[in-house]
Amino acid sequence: MTGGGGSPELYQYQPGDPRLPDEPRTSRILGPGSEGGKGVAIALVSTVVVLGLIVWAVTSSPNWPEVKQAFFDPEEFKRAFPDVARAFVRNVQYFLIAEVFILAWALVLAVMRSLQGPVFFPLRALAIVYTDLFRGIPTVLVVYLLGFGIPSLGLPGVPSGAAFWGVVGLILSYSAYVAEVYRAGIESVHPSQAAAARSLGLSRAKTLRFVIIPQAVRRVIPPLLNDFIGLQKDTALVAFVVAIPEAFKQGQIFQAADFNFTPLLAVALMFLLVTVPLTRVTDWLLERQRRRRQAGAVV
Partner 1 sequence: MSADGFALRVVDLHKSFDKLEVLRGIDLEVDEHEVVCLIGASGSGKSTLLRCVNLLEPIDRGQIVIEGEDVTVRGLDVNRIRQRVGIVFQAFNLFPHMTVLRNVTLGPTEALGISKGEARELSLELLGRFGLADKRDDYPDRLSGGQQQRVAIVRALAMKPVIMLLDEVTSALDPELVAEVLNVIRELAAGGMTMIIATHEMGFARDIAHRICFLDEGVILEEGTPEQIFSQPSQERTQRFLQSIIEAGRM
- Site residues for partner 1 per CB under 8 A: 1-4, 192-193, 195-203, 206, 210-211, 214-215, 218, 297-298
33, 31, 72: which is closest to 55 by C-alpha? Answer: 72
239, 237, 218, 245: which is closest to 171 by C-alpha? Answer: 237
Nearer to partner 1, 29 or 298 (CB): 298
Q: How far is the CB of 205 from partner 1 (least distance, A)?
A: 10
220, 141, 226: which is closest to 183 by C-alpha? Answer: 220
Q: Are 244 and 90 in contact (CB under 8 A)?
A: yes
Nearer to partner 1, 4 or 21 (CB): 4
Q: How far is the CB of 293 from partner 1 (least distance, A)?
A: 12
261, 225, 236: which is closest to 139 by C-alpha? Answer: 236
Nearer to partner 1, 75 or 187 (CB): 187
Q: How far is the CB of 190 from partner 1 (least distance, A)?
A: 8
**How many residues can be counted in the chain?**
299
Q: How far is CA 69 from CA 72, 78, 136, 272, in A?
A: 6, 14, 40, 22
Nearer to partner 1, 115 or 253 (CB): 115
Q: How far is the CB of 102 from partner 1 (least distance, A)?
A: 23
Nearer to partner 1, 153 or 295 (CB): 295
Q: How far is the CB of 268 from partner 1 (least distance, A)?
A: 40
